[in-house]
Amino acid sequence: MKLTLEARAGSLQPYLLLVPALSILVGFLLFPLIWNIYISMHNVSLTTILGEWKYVGFKNFSNLLSDPDFHMSLQVSLLFVGGSVALQFFVGMVLAVVLNQQIWGSNAFRALFIIPWTVSAVITGFSFKFIFSDSFGVLNYGLEQMGLNPVAWLSDPGVVVWTLVIANMWHGTPFTVIFLTAGLFSISPVVYEAARIDGATKIKSFFYITLPLLKPFIIINLILITMWSVNFFDLILVMTNGGPLFASTTSSLYMYRQAFEFGLLSKGAAAGFLLIGMNLVLAYSYIRLFRRKERTVETRQM
């Protein structure tokens, strides 16, 4: 009987050790989420926050979905996130493959590539605002010196989003480089040597060896940089503050404005909840996409 009790206590020990971590997880993640949902279903603003909170159900969500400015922010977010993820992944993959080669100075370059990622997004925003400024920007000054017309990088509604994409690419690409480089290090050189003996070229080795073996790293990297781009806020606030004419107001910046500039805390909470849903849908879509490709390859092999 005593042995049975000790065995039961031993089986419960791993779960008991998880209690502190789960408590922190509930306190910092689950509780704010529930509180956010609660606020979004009541009429709360900065002027009525100390008063009575009237229950309105899903009215804030319906008002949000019928707001043209919110629709505009979704379009801006789609361009910003799509451009940022595509450029960060492509440039990061190229740099990771190049730095993985045994060339002189590759270790030093890996260390240097970390710097942009460690710099605060606010500092990055101010730096790129100085570079892309319409009136005193370094880039336009260089264009004028070459006899070219200056570009309204931050004041042209058709250009400003892509300017932000470039700034975000510079800030976020080092993470992709580091992450994919770690994945490349995990691939044994013996695999490449065997492929080389069989007559495989470097291009074939990349597509048939490197990419398949990097798939777990690629999935995680795409999920992370997509979520970070969806929620990206501070660099955009510093560089454009959502302008001109809301042309660079992403969904995250829209949420901030509704809650803290206009004082509509309930509407901002509803926008925040929808952003969480967008992140979950995008993460699930990536996983399903890669699983579907994997099943297709297995079916062809059979």
Q: Is the model's pLDDT at 294 over the cut of 90? A: no
Instruction: Report domain extents, the chain.
Output: 36-301
Neighbouring CB atoms inside 10 A of 187's CB total 14
| Whole-number pLDDT of residue 6 | 52
Q: Is the model's pLDDT at 152 over the cut of 80? A: yes
Mean of the per-residue pLDDT values of the chain: 87
Tokens 């509407």 correspond to what residue? 267
Mean pLDDT value across residues 110-118? 83
Q: 140: pLDDT confidence band, cut at 50, 70 and 90?
A: very high
- Report pLDDT digits (tens) over 272-285: 999 989 888 888 88
Q: Is the model's pLDDT at 23 over the cut of 60? A: yes
Q: Is the model's pLDDT at 26 over the cut of 80? A: no
CA 95 to chain centroid, in Å, comes to 19
| Whole-number pLDDT of residue 245 | 86
Percentage, residues of the chain above pLDDT 90 = 55
- Report pLDDT digits (tens) over 60-112: 999 999 999 999 999 999 999 999 999 999 999 999 998 888 777 777 777 78
Report cis status (omega within 30 of 0) of the bond before 68.
Answer: no
Q: How far does the chain reach from its first CA to its final CA, in angstroms?
A: 54
Contacts 24+ apart (CB under 8 A), 281-288: 282/223, 282/226, 282/227, 282/230, 283/223, 283/226, 283/227, 286/219, 286/222, 286/223, 286/226, 287/219, 287/223
Percentage, residues of the chain above pLDDT 70 = 92
Mean pLDDT value across residues 234-252? 93
| CATH number corresponding to 36-301 | 1.10.3720.10
Ramachandran angles phi, psi of 170, nearest 5°: -60, -40
| Whole-number pLDDT of residue 4 | 56
263 within 8 A of 199, measured Cβ to Cβ: no
Q: 16: pLDDT confidence band, cut at 50, 70 and 90?
A: confident
Residue 256, CA distances (Å) to 21, 71, 79, 183, 249 in order: 30, 16, 19, 36, 10
Q: Is the model's pLDDT at 254 over the cut of 60? A: yes
Mean pLDDT value across residues 214-237? 92
Q: 32: pLDDT confidence band, cut at 50, 70 and 90?
A: confident
Greater confidence, 165 or 104? 165
| Whole-number pLDDT of residue 157 | 94
| Whole-number pLDDT of residue 3 | 46
